[in-house]
Amino acid sequence: MQSSPREEHPHDAGEAADQAAEELSRRLAAEAGDVEAMSVLGAMLLRRGDLDGAEPHLRAATAAGDRAAANNLGVLLHQRGYPDEAAGWWRIAAVAGSTAAAHALGRHHRERGDEPAAEYWLRQSAEQGHTLGAYALADLLEHRGDAEGSERWMRAAAERGHREGAYRLARALDRKATRASGDRGAALVEEAEQWYRQAAARGHRRAALHLGTILEKRGELKEAGRWYLTSAKDGEPRAACALGFLLRDAGDTENAAVWWLRAAQDGDGNAANALGALHAERGQTQTAERWYRAAMDAGDINGAYNLGLLCADQGRVTQAEQWYRRAAYAGHREAANALAILLLRAGDETGAEPWFSKAAEAGSVDAAFNLGILHAGRGEERAALRWYERAAAAGHTEAALQVGMARLRDGEEGEAERFLRCAAGGGSAEAAYRLATVLDARRPPEPAHELGEPVHRRSECEEWYERAATQGHRRAQVRVGMLAAARGDVVEAARWYREAAEAGSRNGAFNLGLLLAREGSEPEAAVWWTRAADAGHGRAALRLALVHARRGELAEGQRWADRAAELGPPAVTERAVRLRDALREELSA
């Protein structure tokens, strides 16, 4: 089959015809001795890559004193591999006022290592408004450590539309912002964002990535996603990875996996780890392991740590230890902590401690807390407290609880309260309960409430008791029940007592029994007292002894009296002994 001729669009054909006509016109003028035509024709042929055709026209125009031709002749000779000869023509053009030639000559001297000459010619170019000259001068000054001069010329390049200059200016402003504070720092961040935005709008993919990051941190996720997408489509793997996380957080794991795959295939270790985690969650452990290995191959040591976690979850302890060690030796602090935990569980406390220390010194909060536990287990309370304090300062909830309890033991109630508030705010039910007890001990006694009286607003300590109670803290549930009972709210008190009792609280069961007995439900009360007494509650056993004694069940009453006397406390034991002796006399009468 004969192929059809390529179809040309009329616009393209017309443009090509115009170019051909212009070239013919320039060629005829050049042949007639027009110097400008020679220069323009040479430049046209040079851009086309026709070096042989361009050179005679450029040489002729240069000989006639055309500085643009001298510059282009330098470009041609540089492309041919004659840099020194090119520099000679650039010098002639630069002396004649060509900013492009001054830029080229400056670049030539920098490549040769002659920085003073490079700076001289680049400055000549930049000061006369040449954009590339301004950028090249900024780059040179940055290399020499002149941050102020570099920023000035990078800004000049950026303002003239140089997208790499805009990006690098934004990066410089970002670095300055990290060292500044207050309004100055905020202003620098804002200006950096503007330059990122300008560079990104001109197609700079890394600027689009940074802009997306800024917007994501600010919570503007929709616009962040657009810039990540722009950058990712331009081939930036980090943007593809970030877009994947944005989609995952929005619940779109399928599309997240598509972008992670694209980023991972381009060598992004973070994306490979994300794919590994995704497959691990789905139970596809072999695929997960393959991606974790790919992350390692990309230089991301998280891959080794994640492989350790994967092996540990599967019970492959030996392999887990190997991967943790690999990551830990590379400086992965959480891997060092995980390795230490693995060794500790295997009974190797001596081997575990140095890894806990390495991880803690590297900033692992969990490792600092674990060191506290390690020292506390040895009875080294001061060393334990030091590590707990370090972990608490970094926001570790359980560590803050331990510090708070230590301060309470030392009688430092104010400091204890501060740490307990931190731990309670972090979600620790035990801390909320202990904080409530501290506040409870300070408040003055309230008058008793009668049924039907309005209930007063809850105190702060009761709010903390309730927070702990709703988290399942049994002692807090009992205390909330007691406070409700004190307010006359029998229904609320019974609810909390029952919840605590059903969770195994013997005090909850005893108090629920008391409440039921007062309401006339002694048989049900006896059921809860029995549960409490079986769990070792002496007063509940005494109550049962009295119940059975009133019913005339003397032997059963004596049995529970014996149990109450055994359990105590002393006041209960004393009463139980008297009751038991009385029941014995009654039985023997």
> Token pair of 587, please?
């039985």
> Mean pLDDT lowest for which of 220-234, 263-277, 547-561?
547-561
Residue 151's alpha-carbon distances to 136, 144, 197, 580, in angstroms, are 12, 13, 18, 94
pLDDT of residue 113: 94
The CATH number assigned to the domain holding 523 equals 1.25.40.10
In a domain, 83, yes or no: no
pLDDT of residue 14: 61
- Work out the average pLDDT over 185-203: 96
> Mean pLDDT lowest for which of 113-117, 444-448, 483-487?
444-448
Which residue intervals of 396-535 are DSSP H helices? 397-409, 413-425, 429-442, 460-470, 474-487, 490-502, 506-518, 522-534
User: Do 529 and 555 sit in the same domain of this protein?
Assistant: no
User: Do 478 and 527 sit in the same domain of this protein?
Assistant: yes
User: Do 530 and 544 sit in the same domain of this protein?
Assistant: no
412-454 residue pLDDT tens: 999 999 999 999 999 999 999 999 999 998 876 665 545 445 4
User: Do 496 and 481 sit in the same domain of this protein?
Assistant: yes
pTM of the model: 0.72
Local confidence band at 13 (pLDDT 50, 70, 90 cut-offs): low
Residue 260 and residue 270: Cα distance in Å, rounded?
Answer: 9
> Mean pLDDT lowest for which of 19-23, 49-53, 92-96, 264-268?
19-23
Residue 192 and residue 202: Cα distance in Å, rounded?
Answer: 16
User: Do 527 and 489 sit in the same domain of this protein?
Assistant: yes
> Token pair of 66, please?
């055309």
Query: If you ran DSSP here, which 8-state letter would residue 131 be given?
Result: H
Separation of CA 389 from chain center: 23
pLDDT of residue 8: 40
342-368 residue pLDDT tens: 999 999 999 999 999 999 999 999 999
Residues 6+ apart with CB under 8 A from 335: 301, 304, 305, 308, 323, 324, 325, 326, 327, 328
Local confidence band at 457 (pLDDT 50, 70, 90 cut-offs): low
pLDDT of residue 156: 97
CB 302 within 8 A of CB 332: yes
Structural domain total, the chain: 2
CB 309 within 8 A of CB 295: no
- Work out the average pLDDT over 285-304: 96
Residue 344 and residue 84: Cα distance in Å, rounded?
Answer: 69
- Work out the average pLDDT over 109-138: 96
Structural domain of residue 547, as residue ranges?
538-588
Residue 555 and residue 545: Cα distance in Å, rounded?
Answer: 9
> Token pair of 307, please?
């492989």
Query: If you ran DSSP here, which 8-state letter would residue 391 be given?
Result: H
**Residue 117 buriedness (CB in 10 A; 0-12 / 13-18 / 19+):** middle
Task: Please state, rounded to an integer, the average pLDDT across all residues of the chain.
Answer: 92
> Token pair of 309, please?
């976690």
126-183 residue pLDDT tens: 999 999 999 999 999 999 999 999 999 999 999 999 999 999 999 999 999 999 989 9
pLDDT greater than 50 at residue 4: no
- Work out the average pLDDT over 53-79: 93
> Token pair of 327, please?
């990551």
CA torsion, ordered 93, 99, 105, 107, to nearest 10 deg: -160
In a domain, 573, yes or no: yes
Residue scoring higher pLDDT (12 or 23): 23
pLDDT of residue 205: 97
In a domain, 466, yes or no: no
pLDDT of residue 509: 95
pLDDT greater than 90 at residue 31: no
212-251 residue pLDDT tens: 999 999 999 999 999 999 999 999 999 999 999 999 999 9
Residue 187 and residue 193: Cα distance in Å, rounded?
Answer: 10
Domain boundary among 519, 535, 551: 535
In a domain, 561, yes or no: yes
Q: How many CA atoms lie within 13 A of 90 on its CB side?
A: 27
pLDDT greater than 80 at residue 341: yes
pLDDT of residue 295: 97
Residue scoring higher pLDDT (90 or 19): 90
pLDDT greater than 70 at residue 84: yes
In a domain, 198, yes or no: no
In a domain, 57, yes or no: no
In a domain, 516, yes or no: yes
Q: How many CA atoms lie within 13 A of 131 on its CB side?
A: 10
Q: Which amino acid is at 324?
A: Y
User: Do 496 and 524 sit in the same domain of this protein?
Assistant: yes
In a domain, 479, yes or no: yes
pLDDT greater than 60 at residue 3: no
> Token pair of 63, please?
């000989």
Closest by CA position to 57, among listed 343, 562, 47: 47
Closest by CA position to 30, among listed 60, 73, 55, 67: 60
User: Do 555 and 581 sit in the same domain of this protein?
Assistant: yes
- Work out the average pLDDT over 535-557: 92
Return the biggest CA–CA distance within the chain: 150
Residue 577 and residue 231: Cα distance in Å, rounded?
Answer: 84
